[in-house]
Structure 1
């Protein structure tokens, strides 16, 4: 059988010799994979994403200023502690990913780990946002380690569920769109909590009482999401191969896949810059624009993303996921670049540009996540076993390390430039803020969009990957023998 060029390009180096394939399948109550219109499953699967995202907002938006301006820890020290905690957290991801892949009990393989992880996240959030009197750097570090440990325990298996719940290219875009739409909604609501609580209690946004109530509400979100998720999302049934490949061999196979290399490079480069605005938004609006409307601007940014996500999902269905991602990055970075010309008194112009940039924010999160599931399929076919947890953990390492490096460098740079809490800043501090808040994110965003031009795993290529699974059976849960005739590649086809 002659495959189309896109399929040959991305699979030539992976299907050159026979392998056995073992797939973890997720079965709905009627024994079938997710149906495109299974709304209950989409909502239930999205619920933990909403709660975990809500738990992350205080850490990235309010925590730095809370601990630097209220608790009294120098801003540079806060940045270094965040960096140290994230570095520790990143190295736990592959361990959890491998363990999750090897668990054979259907419930504990993914759902059970999520059930264990989310209460740990709740304990960490309570520590961080309700610190004891006289809290020191040690309290901040321990709270971050507890929170990130629970986060890893919950998010790695949670994200690994997506490839098992939806098989088809566009169904995955829909499922992950619901999940990441819920994530952005969680960000939106959690970002609104401190300003709303502060207004009701007549306290500052980062006052201790405001942070405590925020922590309690987020804990309620975490508990409620589990009540929705656990009874309505099926547990994947693992169908393992008799012999497992060593981790080193699996990574070597993974690096031969061009789609993985391109997606990962684009994903990491964009992550370097995308984490900076979240950490610096409050500082930028207060000291560059001389406004106290930062919480409202955060809400406008996130709300724009939620409302525009269905349009980006539709564009991905009409074209390709990676093409829609490129356009989203161009819109996001272009609007962000224009904010460089805003200064004191330009808050309305800045708000309009922030909302324009925000229209692409959810797409920048959701579309790469959907592409990750397709790359996981390609690796499954090449390696002959299910390594979704391992791959998700590798992407999580990159995301966390780039976020840690970005924040761990940005906040100390502010301190070196001469940042002083609560007073007008020197011109050099304003210049550093503009570089970190606008300059670096724009450059990394456009670079990520350009790299995606080389992404080969489009709809046609993924359809042919799926056809390899379906050769022996109409289900996705079969141990499928892959032989030379099934995986034949025309002579002269270049390697990916």
Structure 2
């Protein structure tokens, strides 16, 4: 198993951080494609219609209970290959099969078939995302290093997201293929990217199992005590809101730029590429800002600026995409900060819980945030498509829709994201887990882990079963 290359300061080396961040590439790319490309692909090209919004919502709701179960199983997993590594390896073929069945689906495919393969896709992504996020929290243990690694993950994920948005532009110009052909090409790209990028990360990243891995059992009472903790509630509410805001905008993105701004499909995709590429700047800058003013304050700054810049979009001239370039770049930079700060805050809260409870619950904690992201993804598509139905907007007509329908689309595109994103930032007003407080938590955890280091080494040498970590005196 590879050793952890670290700098003299105790941080992961840049190679280790970049190698691990490769695992985030396919997820970021798929997340963008599912939010922006798949709903129009299903509704227009495959003939499912606006009912696809309800289909996405139903599948997400069915899938939500899977995440906590996966998180619990991951937290209790102990193998010679690590805790998260085996899960990630299992998730790759599941995801690849679902990608083929969804992106290469024929015209006239039934809703039932789409629903089944959406469920399989979300199962694969749940396994991969939970494994990657939880693994990252054990690779980086300090307040500052977590901002750094999640910033690198988000920045590198930008490359995958930008590529899936550039593929339609290239396919349209080179082969003259339509929107459906472009989306199918995206599917082939994702199916090839997943095993290569994730495999590289798995083979080049060490995994250390921290103390307190097992709990004898995890009861409903334990679960309720976790989800009702004030800091966990902050994370869940904020993650729901800041995912729902951009997700809402993404679900209406193609419709809005085509019907309201009168920008072509290719140019609207190019603008979205700019939005995504801005994450290369936004993610690391937000990580630096978080280490200067605190992660929660950096999130509040990002959500506020995002909302202010979103208001400017309707003021740009119709039919001209160039004036929107700097606006979309700034929006993308601010949005990249949402993921960096919340995922890093989640890891810090996980340490706080481990110090108090004496058991490792990082997988379950990330499972809860993954569940809120799924709820947000479901509602963003379900609600926005329901709004389109209420205002009478017809996706097939595009700019030929009436003025009232287009005006309703414009309001929905702007108002919804601003409301949710601002609410997400407000969730961290009064947050107390600062860098100094987390440093004290890590000091206590490191002292406790050192007590169990020698028995753990004996276990590794003998192959014996390690006893559960005793409950700390202050639990």
TM-score (norm 1): 0.86
The answer as to 2:168 corresponding to 1:178 is no
Deviation at 1:414, TM superposition (A): 0.9
The answer as to 2:300 corresponding to 1:326 is yes
Take 1:63 and 1:249, find their aligned partners in 2: how far apart are those partners? Answer: 39
The residue that corresponds to 1:56 in the other structure is 31
SS at 1:161's partner residue? helix
The residue that corresponds to 2:13 in the other structure is 38
Aligned residue runs from structure 1 range 80-91, under 5 A: 80-91=54-65
The residue that corresponds to 2:40 in the other structure is 65
The residue that corresponds to 1:229 in the other structure is 201
Shift of the 129–384 alpha-carbon distance from structure 1 to 2, 3 Å rule, reads: same
Take 2:24 and 2:203, find their aligned partners in 1: how far apart are those partners? Answer: 16
Take 1:329 and 1:439, find their aligned partners in 2: how far apart are those partners? Answer: 14
Take 2:57 and 2:9, find their aligned partners in 1: how far apart are those partners? Answer: 39
Asked if the contact 1:120/1:146 (under 8 Å) is kept, the reply is: yes
Cα deviations by residue, 1:90-113 (Å, 9 ceiling, x for unpaired):
121111111111112153631111
Deviation at 1:269, TM superposition (A): 2.2
Aligned residue runs from structure 1 range 244-323, under 5 A: 244=216, 246-255=218-227, 257-292=229-264, 293-323=267-297
Deviation at 1:361, TM superposition (A): 1.7
Shift of the 349–391 alpha-carbon distance from structure 1 to 2, 3 Å rule, reads: same
Relative to structure 2, which stretch is displaced further, 318-327 or 416-425? 416-425
Shift of the 340–476 alpha-carbon distance from structure 1 to 2, 3 Å rule, reads: farther
The answer as to 2:225 corresponding to 1:220 is no
The residue that corresponds to 1:110 in the other structure is 84
Take 1:425 and 1:119, find their aligned partners in 2: how far apart are those partners? Answer: 42
Gaps of 5+ in 2: 457-468
Shift of the 325–303 alpha-carbon distance from structure 1 to 2, 3 Å rule, reads: same
Higher relative contact order (CA 8 A, sep 6+): 1
Gaps of 5+ in 1: 1-25, 488-496
Relative to structure 2, which stretch is displaced further, 294-303 or 442-451? 442-451
Query: How many residue pairs end up in the alignment?
Result: 457
Relative to structure 2, which stretch is displaced further, 353-362 or 286-295? 353-362
Asked if the contact 2:2/2:205 (under 8 Å) is kept, the reply is: no
Take 1:301 and 1:267, find their aligned partners in 2: how far apart are those partners? Answer: 20
SS at 1:340's partner residue? helix
Aligned residue runs from structure 1 range 75-154, under 5 A: 75=50, 77-107=51-81, 109-154=83-128
CA RMSD of aligned residues (A): 2.5
Deviation at 1:252, TM superposition (A): 3.9
Relative to structure 2, which stretch is displaced further, 231-240 or 143-152? 231-240
Relative to structure 2, which stretch is displaced further, 32-41 or 115-124? 32-41
Take 1:266 and 1:457, find their aligned partners in 2: how far apart are those partners? Answer: 15
Take 2:211 and 2:133, find their aligned partners in 1: how far apart are those partners? Answer: 19
SS at 2:160's partner residue? helix
Deviation at 1:459, TM superposition (A): 0.1
